[in-house]
A and B are shown apart, each in its own frame.
Chain A
Amino acid sequence: MRTATVSGEAARSRGLARITDFREFMILMVIVAASIIMSIASPYFLTRMNILANLLSVSIECIVAVGMTVLMVSGGFDMSVGSTVALCGAAGAMAMRAGIPVLPAILIALAVGTLVGLINGLLIAKVGINPFITTLGMMSVLRGILLVVTQARNITGLPQSFRIIGQGNFLGIQYPIIIALVFLIVGDILLRKSRFFRQNYYIGGNRQAARLSGINVDGITIFNYALTGFLAALAGLVMTARLGAASVTAGTGLELKVISAVIIGGASLSGGEGTVIGSFLGALLMAIITNALTLLGVDVYWNEFVIGATLLLAVAVDVIGGKRRQKA
Chain B
Amino acid sequence: MSMSDGIVLEVRDIVKTFPGVRALDGVQLQLRAGEVHAVIGENGAGKSTLMHVLGGIYRPDSGRIIVDGKPVELDSAYAAAQHGISVVFQELSLAPNLSVAENIFANRQPVRALGLIDYAKLYEDTREILRFFDLEIDPKTLVKNLPVAQQQVVEILKAMSTHPKVLILDEPTSSLTSVEVEFLFKNIRRLKEQGISFIYISHHLKEIFEIADRVTVLRDGCYVGTREVKDVTEEQLVQMMVGRELVDMYGRRDYDIGEVYFSVKGARRGKDFADVSFSLRRGEILALAGLVGSGRTEVGRAIFGAEPLEQGEIILGGRSLSIASPKDAIQAGVGYLTEDRKAQGLFLDMAIRDNCIAPHLVDFANNLRMMDEDAITDFAHQCRRNFNIITPSIKQQVCNLSGGNQQKVLLSMWMGIKPEVLIVDEPTRGVDVGAKSEIYRLLRQLAATGVGIIMISSDLPEVLGLSDRILVMREGRIAGEFSAEEATEEKVVACATGVAMAC
- A-side residues, CB < 8 A to B, are 1, 5-6, 8-9, 11-18, 193-196, 198-199, 201-202, 205-206, 208-216, 272-273, 325, 328
Contacts and interface: CB of A to CB of B under 8 A. Distances in A.
Contacts of A18: 395
B135 interface: no
Interface in B305-341: 306, 325-327, 329-331, 336, 338
Interface in B328-385: 329-331, 336, 338, 343-351, 353-354, 358-359, 361-362, 364-365, 369-371, 373
Closest 7 CB pairs of A and B: A15-B395, A205-B347, A15-B351, A195-B365, A214-B327, A214-B330, A213-B359
B413 A213 contact: yes
30 contacts: A11-B397, A12-B393, A13-B395, A14-B397, A15-B354, A16-B354, A194-B365, A194-B371, A195-B362, A195-B369, A198-B361, A202-B350, A205-B347, A205-B350, A208-B344, A209-B338, A209-B343, A209-B345, A209-B358, A210-B347, A212-B345, A213-B326, A213-B358, A214-B325, A214-B330, A214-B331, A215-B361, A272-B349, A273-B349, A325-B349
The listed residue with most B CB atoms (<10 A of its CB), out of A201, A202, A206, A209, is A209
A52 B19 CA distance: 45
B23 to A, nearest CB: 12
Interface of B: 18-20, 57, 59, 304, 306, 325-327, 329-331, 336, 338, 343-351, 353-354, 358-359, 361-362, 364-365, 369-371, 373, 392-397, 399-400, 413
B75 to A, nearest CB: 11
Contact of A8 (B18, B350, B351, B354): B18
A202 B361 CA distance: 11
B369 A194 contact: yes
Contacts of A211: 306, 326
Contact of A195 (B59, B361, B392): B361
A101 to B, nearest CB: 35
Given A198-B371, A214-B329, A325 B399 contact: yes
Nearest to A17: B373
Nearest to A192: B371
The listed residue with most A CB atoms (<10 A of its CB), out of B347, B351, B392, B400, is B347
A13 B365 CA distance: 24
A318 to B, nearest CB: 13
A216 B358 contact: no
Contacts of A202: 347, 350, 354, 358, 361
Contacts, number: 112
A201 B358 CA distance: 10
A19 B237 CA distance: 42
A124 B397 CA distance: 29
A156 to B, nearest CB: 44
Contacts of B18: 5, 8
B263 to A, nearest CB: 23
Contacts of B327: 214-216
B19 to A, nearest CB: 4
A192 to B, nearest CB: 8
Contacts of A212: 304, 306, 326, 336, 338, 344-345
A213 B417 CA distance: 10
Nearest to B57: A328
B353 A9 contact: no
A210 to B, nearest CB: 7
A214 B394 CA distance: 23
A202 B396 CA distance: 16
A209 B344 contact: yes
B370 A12 contact: no
Contacts of B369: 194-196
A193 B371 contact: yes
A243 B39 CA distance: 71
Nearest to A205: B347
Given A12-B397, A211-B326, A201 B359 contact: no
Contact of A199 (B20, B346, B361, B394): B361
A72 B471 CA distance: 45
Given A12-B20, A272-B350, 7 more contacts: A6-B19, A194-B365, A195-B369, A206-B344, A214-B330, A216-B327, A273-B349
A71 B88 CA distance: 38
Nearest to A216: B327
A195 B370 contact: yes
A215 B359 CA distance: 8
Nearest to B345: A209
B370 A193 contact: yes
Nearest to B17: A5
Contacts of A13: 392-393, 395-396
Contacts of B395: 13-15, 18
A17 B380 CA distance: 14
A24 B344 CA distance: 30
The listed residue with most B CB atoms (<10 A of its CB), out of A16, A194, A214, A273, is A214
B347 A209 contact: yes
The listed residue with most B CB atoms (<10 A of its CB), out of A5, A13, A213, A215, is A213
Contact of A206 (B325, B348, B365, B396): B348
Contacts of B347: 201-202, 205-206, 209-210, 272
A201 B376 CA distance: 15
A9 B370 CA distance: 30
A213 B325 CA distance: 10
